[in-house]
């Protein structure tokens, strides 16, 4: 009996629904449909949404522009999650509207951490040594008989 291959990530359906939910949330937030003093004074980006395998839970990773007031913005989104869920349901044709939860998007932090590592003097020294070695290998040999 052949074993079913194990899945390493979200299915295409999960990804497709996540993208639809992301677009719907971004549209609602951009239009200012939610009346809240915190959300009214911040531009909130939704770089990613991840869906649970049963599509009943959507985790939206959000970040206010410039990373300012992250905690109050996420708290405001949590306060309005029922209304946001209704708005998503109106825009995305699904059998069930997913529950929404909001998390801080940490991809910018991770990118900054990697950038800092790449700028470290030890890494730079290794990169220069590797580049010099590669250039030496590419140079044609010169000498008697060549």
More confident residue, 141 or 72: 72
Residue 97 is given by DSSP the state: P
Regarding whether 119 and 63 lie in a shared domain, the answer is no
Q: Does the pLDDT at position 73 exceed 70? A: yes
Rounded CA separation 56/95 (Å): 10
Regarding whether 52 and 114 lie in a shared domain, the answer is no
Cβ-Cβ contacts under 8 Å for 143 (sequence gap 6 or more): none
Regarding whether 117 and 74 lie in a shared domain, the answer is no
Regarding whether 123 and 64 lie in a shared domain, the answer is no
* Residue 82 confidence class, pLDDT cut points 50, 70, 90: very high
Q: Does the pLDDT at position 24 exceed 90? A: yes
Q: List the CATH number of the domain containing 59.
A: 3.30.300.20
Regarding whether 110 and 97 lie in a shared domain, the answer is no
Does 142 fall in a domain?
Answer: no
Regarding whether 21 and 58 lie in a shared domain, the answer is yes
Does 144 fall in a domain?
Answer: no
Q: Does the pLDDT at position 4 exceed 90? A: no
Regarding whether 119 and 99 lie in a shared domain, the answer is no
Mean pLDDT for the chain overall = 85
Rounded mean pLDDT of 3-30?
86
Concatenate the DSSP letters of all residues of 38-51 into one string: HHHT--EEEEEEEE
Per the structure, the complete domain to which residue 81 belongs is given by: 12-105
Rounded mean pLDDT of 56-85?
93
Regarding whether 116 and 95 lie in a shared domain, the answer is no
pLDDT of 91 reads 92
Q: Does the pLDDT at position 52 exceed 60? A: yes
Regarding whether 112 and 98 lie in a shared domain, the answer is no
Q: Does the pLDDT at position 33 exceed 60? A: yes
Domain count, the chain: 2
Rounded CA separation 49/87 (Å): 16
Strand order from edge to edge, sheet including 99-104: 44-51, 57-64, 99-104
Rounded mean pLDDT of 64-88?
93
Does 67 fall in a domain?
Answer: yes
pLDDT of 126 reads 77
What the block records as the tokens of 45 is 């980006």
Does 1 fall in a domain?
Answer: no
């Amino acid at each position: 009996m052949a074993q079913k291959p194990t899945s390493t990530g979200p299915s295409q359906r999960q990804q497709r629904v996540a993208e639809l939910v992301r677009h719907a949330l971004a549209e609602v937030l951009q239009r200012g449909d939610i009346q809240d003093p915190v959300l009214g004074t911040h531009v909130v980006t939704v770089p990613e949404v991840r869906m649970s395998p049963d599509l009943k839970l959507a985790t939206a990773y959000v970040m206010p522009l410039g990373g300012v007031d992250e905690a109050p913005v996420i708290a405001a989104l949590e306060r309005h999650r029922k209304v946001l869920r209704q708005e998503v349901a109106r825009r995305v044709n699904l059998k069930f509207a997913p529950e929404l939860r909001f998390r801080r998007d940490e991809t910018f932090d991770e990118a900054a951490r990697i950038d800092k590592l790449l700028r470290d003097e030890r890494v730079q020294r290794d990169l220069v040594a590797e580049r010099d070695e590669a250039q030496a290998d590419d140079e044609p040999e010169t000498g008697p008989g060549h």
